[in-house]
Amino acid sequence: MTSAEPDHDNAAALRPTEPQRRYLERGLTQPGGKLPLFDRDGREVPLRTIQACVLHGWAEPWIHNPIKPEWRVCKLTAKGYAALGREAEAEDPGPDSGPGGADKKA
């Protein structure tokens, strides 16, 4: 038996929740689409919000913080910009690129 109702789970997966949207929108005004570690009230962005955005492809890990490895520093992806109704900025190589960058394995 088939259902004529739309698949709401798939529709919901295409749009960020309100907390996810607030998190992602903060990257629109930052160089390279850098996403915040803390919300506008100074509280840490919940890890589950960050993880959900990464799993949906709206954000990607950007740099690793060796002093606070549990902090996930991420940036918007092209898919993240699209989820917010924006076009992605020109690709920013980020702080780890170039000679002597942190992307080198020790």
**For all residues of the chain together, what is the average pLDDT?**
80
Does 91 reside within a domain? no
Q: For residue 20, tell me if it sits in a domain.
A: yes
Please check whether residue 77 lies inside any domain of the structure: yes
**If you average pLDDT over residues 70-85, what whole number do you get?**
93
Note whether residue 96 is domain-resident.
Answer: no
Check whether 29 has a pLDDT greater than 50.
yes
For 2, the token pair is 């088939």
Q: Find how far residue 31's CA is from the centre of its chain.
A: 14
Residue 75 lies in a domain: yes
State how far the Cα of 9 lies from the Cα of 89, in Å rounded to an integer: 29
What mean pLDDT comes out for the span 68-82?
92
Instruction: Give a yes or no: residue 4 inside a domain.
Output: no
Residue at 64 is within a domain: yes
Confidence of residue 82 (pLDDT cuts 50, 70, 90): very high
Q: What's the domain count of the chain?
A: 1
C-alpha pair distances (Å), 43 with each of 23, 36, 46, 63, 81: 12, 11, 9, 21, 24
Give pTM, 2 decimals.
0.70
Say yes or no to pLDDT of 91 above 90.
no
Q: Name the residue range of residue 63's domain.
A: 14-83
| pLDDT 10s digits, 31-47 | 999 999 999 999 999 99
Give a yes or no: residue 7 inside a domain.
no
Distance CA 26, CA 32 (A): 12
